[in-house]
Chains A and B, each alone.
Chain A
Amino acid sequence: MTLTREEIRQRLEKVFQDVFDNDKIKLFETMTAEDLKEWDSLMHISLVVAVEKEFHVRLNAAEVGQLENVGAMLDLLARKNT
């Protein structure tokens, strides 16, 4: 079943909240590591692993490296979902 971008965003937001243990996180397209203090290179990989589990996808090294902001994540997940 193909998910809409909004559905992907909502699920991704839940992943962020779980990984960073913070229910108050609200995602926006241009959100980057600078907007979320705990989002360092270590947490980035935790986030990637959690995203893979949630969306049943496998991200390669190039894709992991390019996920610099939430918008890029949403684009990638939407592409993988089609």
Chain B
Amino acid sequence: MDISSIQFVCFVFCGWLLCMIWPQPVLRTLIFTGMNLAFLFSYTNSVFSLVPLFLFLLTGFFCVRILARNASRSLLVLFIVALVAVFVYLKHYSICKCMQSLPFDYVTVGLSFILFRLLQIMYDVYVREIAQPISALDYFNFTCSFLTFVSGPIQRFQAYQEQKQSFLVFSPTRTDGLGAASRLLTGYIKILFLSGIFLAWQKNSAVYLLNWNNGIVSATLPAAAYWIICYACSAASYLLFLYMNFSGYMDLVIGAGLLFGWKLPENFRHPFAAENFLDFWSRWHITLSNWFKWYLYNPLLKALVTRRPSHTMLPYWGTASLFVAFFVMGIWHGTTSAFVFYGLFLGLGASVNRLYQIYLPKIIGKERTKILTALPFYRHMARGMALSYFSLALTCFWLDETSFYELLRRIPFWCELASWVILGFVIALLSALYENVAKRLPNWLQEDAIRLPNGWVASLWFLARAALLAWIILQNRTDIPDFVYKAF
């Protein structure tokens, strides 16, 4: 079931109605379980295609049960390695190309995010952060909640348990309803309208890029310049598309969750206001970067600091841990070898950013660093370069593996570098312009003022979005982009 479809709206509404008609906790649990099962089965016409997924879930459950009885480090490591290996096999990562795949089609939607939840439960059971036994029902509803099944947001089991208590007794108020409706409106506008605009722009820009005839880039400088501009436009438009697509999906699931009393964590927090690459990752796909911070970066850094305690080496341990965490996060995103480059890009960006933060004060002094980093020109340029870098890193998302390697092979590095710099400058300019306009807005147009249920401006903004959505639906568009992260 496509989250952006009318079927999903009806599905959520019916579930909500049933929860209101039968508010008893036991019945609500049953309704929620039924909705999760129905959502899962909506991804296939054949029950058989869900067998690998169910076996994966069952195996994970037994691993959790065994760890609850026997908190053995060897068992934990064995289970983690085994489950990750099975995941890699089921998702057809390129490392498994030589292996025989299963002789039938099967569902892998949501498998990545199930793996995150499973690893988190296993570890927290092992360290007794989760002391109470987990029931099969709770396990299933946590790993396969229709709200977070496809692409998160990634929640810890403990947070899910707290939210569940709220859901079981939830009685929506007018504010809850308006908040949910507002999120849903925003989400649908992003997915059904805005993402399509940016994707069309990206495809138009990319047409010239894939014209490899006779080394077109090196032929003439104007041709190279045109290529650079096209690449920059493709990268920028894809970033905007991805933001609308992904954050729109988040708006939908968070909005739907609010109807049931689930307060899911946010995955985006003004990512385009990031001050640098590392700050960007505290604003983009927040639950993913938090997961990697908690369960990979922190333990790795702590192990390094404990084994080799040295004040001098501390920043370098931090840099190394950042590189590893971002590299793994990058390769998780895709099954082809091109995503190894994505991982390297992310790891390099994060570690260079960190080293820059370490060395700049050493070179020019702490006070000068403070003054420099507060300068508007510096802030906007840093933002521009970070966003531009991330835009280019996303190239493997919109080029297939063959075209990606063709790009690396045929296009001189200086062209890609020039794209990065030019795009960075453009973003910096736009950032400066936006900041100057934003601070001149009257109070009644500021972000808090347009958030329901505050006053007439918020109501007007709500009605305007509702009207826009109605117009979008009446267009009866068939070119609505698919949800990108469903494939991860």
A interface vs B, CB < 8 Å? 41-42, 44-46, 48-49, 60-65
Cβ-defined contact, B298 with A61, below 8 A: yes
Total B residues in contact with A, Cβ cutoff 8 Å:
20
- Docked pose: A64 CA to B147 CA in angstroms: 28
Question: Which residues of A lie under 8 Å from residue B290 when comparing CB positions?
Answer: 65
Cβ-defined contact, B129 with A63, below 8 A: yes
| CB nearest neighbor in A for B301 | A45
- Docked pose: A63 CA to B318 CA in angstroms: 19
B interface vs A, CB < 8 Å? 123-124, 127, 129, 156, 290, 293-295, 297-299, 301-302, 305-306, 309, 314-315, 318
| Known contacts A42-B301, A45-B305, A46-B305; A61/B295 CB under 8 A | yes
Cβ-defined contact, B314 with A41, below 8 A: no
Cβ-defined contact, A61 with B305, below 8 A: no
| CB nearest neighbor in A for B127 | A60
| Known contacts A41-B318, A42-B318, A45-B302; A65/B293 CB under 8 A | yes
Cβ-defined contact, B293 with A41, below 8 A: yes
Question: Which residues of B lie under 8 Å from residue A44 when comparing CB positions?
Answer: 298
Question: Which residues of A lie under 8 Å from residue B127 when comparing CB positions?
Answer: 60-63
- Docked pose: A61 CA to B315 CA in angstroms: 20
Nearest-Cβ distance from residue B64 to partner chain A, whole angstroms: 15
A62 is contacted by which of B123, B305, B318 (Cβ under 8 Å)? Answer: B123
Which residue, B124, B305, B315, has most C-beta atoms of chain A within 10 A?
A: B305
Cβ-defined contact, B123 with A49, below 8 A: no
Question: Which residues of B lie under 8 Å from residue A62 when comparing CB positions?
Answer: 123-124, 127, 129, 156, 294
Question: Which residues of B lie under 8 Å from residue A60 when comparing CB positions?
Answer: 123, 127, 129
B306 is contacted by which of A42, A49, A64 (Cβ under 8 Å)? Answer: A49
Cβ-defined contact, B123 with A46, below 8 A: no
Cβ-defined contact, A42 with B298, below 8 A: no
Nearest-Cβ distance from residue A2 to partner chain B, whole angstroms: 21
| CB nearest neighbor in A for B282 | A41
| Known contacts A42-B301, A45-B301, A45-B305; A61/B318 CB under 8 A | no
- Docked pose: A41 CA to B124 CA in angstroms: 21
Question: Which residues of A lie under 8 Å from residue B129 when comparing CB positions?
Answer: 60, 62-63
Question: Which residues of A lie under 8 Å from residue B123 when comparing CB positions?
Answer: 60-62
Question: Which residues of B lie under 8 Å from residue A63 when comparing CB positions?
Answer: 127, 129
| CB nearest neighbor in B for A44 | B298
Question: Which residues of A lie under 8 Å from residue B314 when comparing CB positions?
Answer: 42, 46
Known pairs A45-B318, A63-B127; list 7 more (Cβ under 8 Å). A41-B318, A46-B314, A61-B295, A61-B299, A64-B294, A65-B290, A65-B294
| CB nearest neighbor in B for A60 | B127
Question: Which residues of B lie under 8 Å from residue A64 when comparing CB positions?
Answer: 294, 298-299, 302
- Docked pose: A60 CA to B290 CA in angstroms: 16
* 25 CB < 8 A contacts A-B: A41-B293, A42-B301, A42-B314, A44-B298, A45-B298, A45-B302, A45-B305, A46-B314, A49-B306, A49-B309, A60-B123, A60-B129, A61-B123, A61-B294, A61-B298, A61-B299, A62-B124, A62-B127, A62-B129, A62-B156, A62-B294, A63-B129, A64-B294, A64-B302, A65-B298
Question: Which residues of A lie under 8 Å from residue B298 when comparing CB positions?
Answer: 41, 44-45, 61, 64-65
Question: Which residues of B lie under 8 Å from residue A46 when comparing CB positions?
Answer: 305, 314
| Known contacts A42-B318, A60-B129, A64-B298; A49/B124 CB under 8 A | no
- Docked pose: A13 CA to B314 CA in angstroms: 21
Question: Which residues of B lie under 8 Å from residue A61 when comparing CB positions?
Answer: 123, 127, 294-295, 298-299
- Docked pose: A60 CA to B299 CA in angstroms: 8
Nearest-Cβ distance from residue B274 to partner chain A, whole angstroms: 16
Nearest-Cβ distance from residue A74 to partner chain B, whole angstroms: 18
B297 is contacted by which of A41, A48, A49 (Cβ under 8 Å)? Answer: A41
| CB nearest neighbor in B for A45 | B301
| CB nearest neighbor in A for B306 | A49
Cβ-defined contact, B293 with A49, below 8 A: no
Closest 8 A-B residue pairs measured CB to CB? Answer: A65-B294, A60-B127, A42-B318, A62-B129, A45-B301, A61-B299, A64-B298, A49-B305
Question: Which residues of A lie under 8 Å from residue B124 when comparing CB positions?
Answer: 62
- Docked pose: A45 CA to B290 CA in angstroms: 15
Cβ-defined contact, B302 with A48, below 8 A: yes
Nearest-Cβ distance from residue A43 to partner chain B, whole angstroms: 8
- Docked pose: A45 CA to B306 CA in angstroms: 10
Nearest-Cβ distance from residue B150 to partner chain A, whole angstroms: 25
| CB nearest neighbor in A for B358 | A42
- Docked pose: A62 CA to B315 CA in angstroms: 23
- Docked pose: A44 CA to B298 CA in angstroms: 9
Nearest-Cβ distance from residue A55 to partner chain B, whole angstroms: 15
- Docked pose: A5 CA to B139 CA in angstroms: 36
